[in-house]
Structure 1
Amino acid sequence: MLVSRADELDRAVIEQLARGTCRVELSPALIAELSANRQAVLADLDGDQPVYGVNTGMGAMAGVRLDADAQARHQDTLMAGRAVGSAPWLRRDEARALLAARLRTFLHPAAGVSAELCRSLIDLLDHDVIPAVPARGSGAAGEIIPLAHTGAVLLGTGQVLDAAGHAPDAAPALEAAGLSPRSFGPKEGVAFLEGVPGLTGLAVLHAAAVRTLLTQQIAVAAAAHAVVRASPDPLHPALADSDELGTVLATLLELRGTGPARALQAPVSFRVTAPALAVALRAVAALEAAAERALTAVTDSPAHLDGRFVGTAGFAGTDLAATAGALTTALAHLADLGTARLHRMLDPAVTGLPRQLSDSPGLHAGMAAVHKRAVGVTHRLRRFTLPALGGAMETSLGQEDVQSFGFEAAECLGEAVTGLRDVLACELLGVHQAFLLDAREAPFGEVAAALPPGTGDRPFGRDLDRIIGLLAEGSLTLHVITA
């Protein structure tokens, strides 16, 4: 893909770069713009005015002026003392997302970096030389620690993440790829450490995963409604208070199929499913909007604006951390509901099917232990719903006295995605078992093809692993369930 304008490197392209399904090249015109902007930055640096992180120290050392010799080394040495992280590392696709988001933010004129630095990031992506980026322990007001690890790879002093998850030295990996280490030019080192490209890239990946997961959740919830023959009353279109809820109501009503309700009112977990899904849809849209803002915003500090170097809050991930936290809570609530729906499906008074969805109650446990697994996963998710924004602690001798803890927010969201998928697999297995016991065609052909035949007890954990794999791949076809 030839990128002629910065806005062409949008969320969709960031996701593709993260997954290694596309390559980008900067157009000659865009390279010329970057070069012209870089020359303006260098011209404005040519003087005696203090510029944070360029001819001064950083953080509590901002008052220390650097001589010419120190300035020549400073942009590289910024990486060394800040690369203090270690395993666990971001996954390779997550680290690729960081590189892609960093490239996008460097296309903003305020960053003032060279076209050569942008090309170096593209080279890492093209040759799949992926930095080993610590996933935890980033207690700075921004992402200085993980970004220092990323920048150290360009210098040849960092570590890369291989296919086995090991983190060997970067220099041999660069050499094997035909790449050479490069130094950071004036102000490029401090620019590299600013902003929240890691959290931005993670938000892009998590939002895409959530979109798929919510589509699957709607389909499975509709099938669960069909199992208990829940009244369609709570799905009436007049109850829609938003576009999101209207879409969920219409989809659930269509997919659940026709047929008489078994009871006047279904359990509450069924009746409130649609509003909870609408909340999650609004939350993921808010995270996507925050990611868009982060990709297009001024992330550098100091930023080059109107010929001056201006201190900013571009390093703060407050917007992304807050929206990621809200989405985490919404997903955890969906896990609560899925676990409750599965429990109701074990009750013959609700379904008219054998107790615990067992083909031989008393001899076989049926889905009872599957539900217990869902309970354990759902309980675990509760610890991740505490907002990451809370808990500020002073660092840098008080120069940094607030943090957004963006990587922690992303980690919590990732756990919520994984946990909800696990709970969804449990509910889906329960739905599959219910349809077989009711002598009805299994609602999801991909699941039926992946599982052993029959309804007798077996090591259901293997079934759940297969279903989780299908969900992660996005392999779940939605169709109308016949009565």
Structure 2
Amino acid sequence: MYRPRLLIDGDTLRLEEILQVARDEVTVELSPEAQECVRASRELVEKVAAGDTPAYGINTGFGTLAEVRIDKKDLAELQRNLILSHAAGVGTPLPLPEARALLLLRCNVLAKGFSGIRLETLQLALDMLNKGVVPVVPERGSVGASGDLAPLAHLALVFIGEGEAFYQGQRMPARQALERAGLRPVVLEAKEGLALVNGTQAMCAVGTLLQLRAETLALVADIAGSMTLEGLLGSHKPFLPEIHDVRPHEGQKACAAHLLRLLAGSDLVETHVNCSKVQDPYSLRCMPQVHGAAREGLAFARRILEVEVNSATDNPLVFVDTGHILSGGNFHGQPLSLAMDVTAMALTQLSSISERRVEQLVNPALSNLPPFLAKNPGLNSGFMIAQVTSAALVAESRVLCHPASVDSIPSSAGREDHVSMGMTAALKGRQVADFTRTCLAIELLVASQALDYRLPVKAGRGPRAAHELVRSRVPTLEKDREIHRDIEAVCELIDSGQLIQVVRAATA
């Protein structure tokens, strides 16, 4: 079966291409130019390793042991010991898509030609990616100092036939997985172990998939909000462009324009043009301002990630043009840590305002609809506890918004005296994304019930399409049933991308 090909060169990888690899949709190859860069940097490392001048990580120890000189006969053992000793991660393994993204990102960094790795070692990584040998990488254990040392060490274990890997859906010893895929482990030479464990690729892998998901959820938030607005007979006027042109934040303007597209073609808006209500609550009226601010935060995070995925984050770095091998701090994860903290806060704002809109829907004093949107309320509780669930998820998300990026704990005997906690930021951001998705699913579900009460009058094209899609999976709530099943069904519509696809087609 034909598979598209993705050429990597260390400089041009896009976030969307990382998602393709995470989903195992393409074959990854190294560009000819990158191959030459890798060969040239390796030649310089071998020249230095053959000499007597100390060079960090090539013929010395690591971290606070950098002043310890290593004999030439022990250089291979030095690299192997580095991988073994740093593989101290704990906890649940990264999900396969994140682990695949991690392996791709490490390959892309090595392809830049600043790492000094052998081409055959990099090729093994690419072969693993293309043949489905995915290292088992525990989630916990990185402080984002010299990058993601523990996660990357677990990744590198498989290169030398140690550790564990997933292959064809099964978890097994790495050597067995390589054998089944027709691959052989390598024996690491000078600097190669260090080239495999220095860098920000674990936090970057989790962060990239989080970013793409968060951008989708920002669109879902607009869709859910537009459904609630129509269900509550809210005004479209707060989204008119002249309001946002005089406060021209790009995210705010984009959200307002999106809401107007979604609401176009509404018959419901005509039913209350002469109503006595002057203004809608903020959770409806201020969607462009709140959703837009979240979009701005996500745009910042995207800019950081787009630079990071194509950056050299090793230490030391090998500069062929000058012949220098320089130690620096490109492995420090602070840019990503701050970006992922912002992502978590942006998503929590989306879930927080969504929960307030759900309250507007289920509270009869606010909606002029039956209590909790129940048929025969009293006998039936309707969506009473769906709102409670949303509130619980928002509360936990707010706890997770405590910034990891300011929570440094020194390590490595004080040598790494300021660390980023970038992986922590990415992991908690991922959890916030899960909660936000579920809060938005609850709103879509409850707003669909409100729109049922407005039939046969039709909502705008976007809310109408979303409502019809929800109803194709979840029937109207006529009497109480297990709401969690309905929530899960709508979550699937979000996760699969079907909701976005259907609404886009209806509003094109």
State the shift of 1:353 in Å: 1.7
1:99 paired to 2:103: yes
Report the equivalent of 2:238.
Answer: 234
Letter in 2 for 1:84: A
Report the equivalent of 2:38.
Answer: 34
Select between 251-260 and 412-421 the one with higher mean Cα deviation: 251-260
Within 1, Cα distance between the matches of 2:13 and 2:505? Answer: 38
1:293 paired to 2:307: yes
Report the equivalent of 2:78.
Answer: 74
Within 2, Cα distance between the matches of 1:108 and 1:27? Answer: 10
State the shift of 1:453 in Å: 4.5
Asked if the contact 1:433/1:455 (under 8 Å) is kept, the reply is no
Report the equivalent of 1:462.
Answer: 485
State the shift of 1:134 in Å: 1.2
The within-5 A match list for 1:110-189 is 110-139=114-143, 141=145, 142-161=147-166, 167-189=171-193
- The superposition leaves residues 39-63 of structure 1 with CA deviations (integer Å, 9 ceiling, x where unpaired) of 2332244322211122111111111
1:473 paired to 2:480: no
Q: How has the CA–CA distance of structure 1 residues 118 and 392 changed in structure 2, closer, same or farther, with 3 Å as cutoff?
A: same
Letter in 2 for 1:248: C
State the shift of 1:454 in Å: 4.6
Asked if the contact 2:374/2:477 (under 8 Å) is kept, the reply is no
Within 2, Cα distance between the matches of 1:385 and 1:140? Answer: 18
State the shift of 1:436 in Å: 1.4
1:400 paired to 2:425: no
Report the equivalent of 1:270.
Answer: 284
Report the equivalent of 1:446.
Answer: 469
How many residue pairs are counted as aligned between the two chains? 481
Select between 166-175 and 465-474 the one with higher mean Cα deviation: 166-175
* Residue in structure 2 matching 1:58, options 50, 55, 62: 62
**SS of residue in 2 equivalent to 1:32:** helix
* Residue in structure 1 matching 2:337, options 321, 337, 346: 321
Report the equivalent of 1:248.
Answer: 255
- The superposition leaves residues 100-120 of structure 1 with CA deviations (integer Å, 9 ceiling, x where unpaired) of 111111122222222212211
Asked if the contact 2:405/2:421 (under 8 Å) is kept, the reply is yes
**SS of residue in 1 equivalent to 2:488:** helix
Asked if the contact 2:315/2:331 (under 8 Å) is kept, the reply is yes
Report the equivalent of 2:461.
Answer: none
Task: List gaps (5 residues or longer) in structure 2.
Answer: 459-463
Asked if the contact 1:359/1:437 (under 8 Å) is kept, the reply is no
State the shift of 1:390 in Å: 2.2
Q: How has the CA–CA distance of structure 1 residues 29 and 325 changed in structure 2, closer, same or farther, with 3 Å as cutoff?
A: closer
TM-score normalised by L of structure 2? 0.90
State the shift of 1:319 in Å: 0.5
Letter in 2 for 1:155: I
* RMSD, matched Cα: 2.0
Asked if the contact 2:9/2:108 (under 8 Å) is kept, the reply is no
Within 1, Cα distance between the matches of 2:474 and 2:174? Answer: 43
Select between 404-413 and 112-121 the one with higher mean Cα deviation: 112-121
Letter in 2 for 1:160: A
The within-5 A match list for 1:378-397 is 378-397=394-413
Select between 318-327 and 180-189 the one with higher mean Cα deviation: 180-189
Letter in 1 for 2:439: V
* Residue in structure 2 matching 1:194, options 193, 198, 203: 198
Letter in 1 for 2:250: D
Asked if the contact 1:432/1:443 (under 8 Å) is kept, the reply is no
The alignment-based identity, stated in percent, is 29
Q: How has the CA–CA distance of structure 1 residues 27 and 255 changed in structure 2, closer, same or farther, with 3 Å as cutoff?
A: closer
**SS of residue in 1 equivalent to 2:138:** coil
- The superposition leaves residues 204-231 of structure 1 with CA deviations (integer Å, 9 ceiling, x where unpaired) of 2111111211111111111111111222
Within 1, Cα distance between the matches of 2:96 and 2:226? Answer: 35
Q: Which has the higher strand share?
A: 2
State the shift of 1:75 in Å: 1.2
Within 1, Cα distance between the matches of 2:87 and 2:57? Answer: 17
Select between 82-91 and 107-116 the one with higher mean Cα deviation: 107-116
State the shift of 1:91 in Å: 0.4
State the shift of 1:315 in Å: 1.1
Letter in 2 for 1:121: A
Letter in 2 for 1:208: L
**SS of residue in 2 equivalent to 1:9:** coil
State the shift of 1:29 in Å: 4.2
**SS of residue in 2 equivalent to 1:87:** strand
Asked if the contact 1:304/1:310 (under 8 Å) is kept, the reply is yes
Within 1, Cα distance between the matches of 2:64 and 2:225? Answer: 54
Q: How has the CA–CA distance of structure 1 residues 244 and 465 changed in structure 2, closer, same or farther, with 3 Å as cutoff?
A: same
* Residue in structure 1 matching 2:223, options 216, 219, 226: 219
State the shift of 1:158 in Å: 1.1
State the shift of 1:420 in Å: 0.5
Letter in 1 for 2:107: L
Within 2, Cα distance between the matches of 1:39 and 1:232? Answer: 65
- The superposition leaves residues 193-252 of structure 1 with CA deviations (integer Å, 9 ceiling, x where unpaired) of 111011112222111111211111111111111111222232121232222211210121
Within 2, Cα distance between the matches of 1:224 and 1:274? Answer: 14
Report the equivalent of 1:432.
Answer: 448
Within 1, Cα distance between the matches of 2:132 and 2:93? Answer: 16
State the shift of 1:373 in Å: 0.9
Report the equivalent of 2:366.
Answer: 350
Select between 358-367 and 231-240 the one with higher mean Cα deviation: 231-240
Q: How has the CA–CA distance of structure 1 residues 324 and 234 changed in structure 2, closer, same or farther, with 3 Å as cutoff?
A: same
The within-5 A match list for 1:413-432 is 413-432=429-448
Asked if the contact 2:143/2:422 (under 8 Å) is kept, the reply is no
Select between 131-140 and 354-363 the one with higher mean Cα deviation: 131-140
Report the equivalent of 1:302.
Answer: 316
Select between 106-115 and 439-448 the one with higher mean Cα deviation: 439-448
